[in-house]
Amino acid sequence: MQWFRRPVLAIAERDAVERFARSSGLTRKLVDRFVAGESLDEALPKVLGLSRLGITSTLDLLGENVSTSEAASAAVATFTTTLRELHALGLEPNISIKLTMLGLDLGDEIAFANTVAILEVAREVGGFVRIDMEGSDYTERTMATFETAHDRFPEEVGIVIQTYLFRARADVERMMERGARVRLVKGAYSEPPSVAYSNTDDTDDNYRRLMRLLLEHGRYPAIATHDPKLIADARAFAEAKGIPPDRYEFQMLYGVRRDAQIDLISTGYRTRVYVPFGIEWYPYFTRRIAERPANALFVLRQFVGG
């Protein structure tokens, strides 16, 4: 789907488009569909609401590519507060982080030190931290940082693998060898054809292969997709192989396919929702729109009143 994603993201990167999106009341309504609020206080009631339905969450403070150590430290403070607040509420302390928000652009050692500070709190409260994968320029550095962290915090940290990247199978095998928990996603960044599949069918086929590999041989994989065919395939494969539902979980995004989330949890499958919050919602929002033509059509219908 790179043919679709690239032009949408290119348009979204224009300053005038971002200014319009941030100032438009209509856009605000659309953002509220995908983002749980601009603060932790706004997001926590959404997590509690999901919990009442039997759905677990992973909270993500939106933001990336910070340019100062002060901004990275502020992110660490919010992430550690989030872990402690979830614990205090009797909820699973589960968060997702991006290394560029923790200072990766300032140096690998800065991002690692900030990651360790978060993981120490996760260990303290019995929580879990998932390191999100960003654009392909950061993939190997993210993997290396994760591996160093996983050596010290094997129970507290997991990683994300993007199946539209050609390197995905090698990365999955690399993670299975060390017993790391993997969240499998298709990928949402604009990538060159030298590193990623440009065809949706190729990405889906790779997802299916790696999903089956993780289900059979991985450690509690997270099957993160909204694709009903892939979800049905995962369920059928697990049943055929005698893999019980407590050996894996499905993951979906806040505000996307809520009906499917309810269906999964009501039929006995563990389901977790990725709940983003924060004032830096624009890049995340545009990637959600660019992921699928259906998302873009949804936005278009809102603007034309359909």
Alpha-carbon distances of 135 from 64, 127, 162, rounded to whole Å: 11, 26, 10
> Exposed, middle or buried by CB within 10 Å (0-12, 13-18, 19+), for 92?
middle
183 flagged as catalytic: yes
Using DSSP's 3-state secondary structure scheme, residue 193 falls into coil
Distances (CA, A) of 214 to 44, 199, 211, 224, 251: 31, 23, 5, 12, 15
Active site residue 202: no
Burial class (CB in 10 A: 0-12, 13-18, 19+), 229: exposed
Token output for 240: 């055929």
Q: Tokens for 26?
A: 């209509």
Which of 5, 130, 181, 183 is catalytic? The answer is 183
Within 13 Å and on the Cβ side, how many CA atoms surround 238? 22
Q: Which of 132, 171, 204, 233 is catalytic?
A: 132
Asked whether the beta carbons of 60 and 26 are under 8 A apart, the reply is: no
Catalytic (active-site) positions: 132, 183
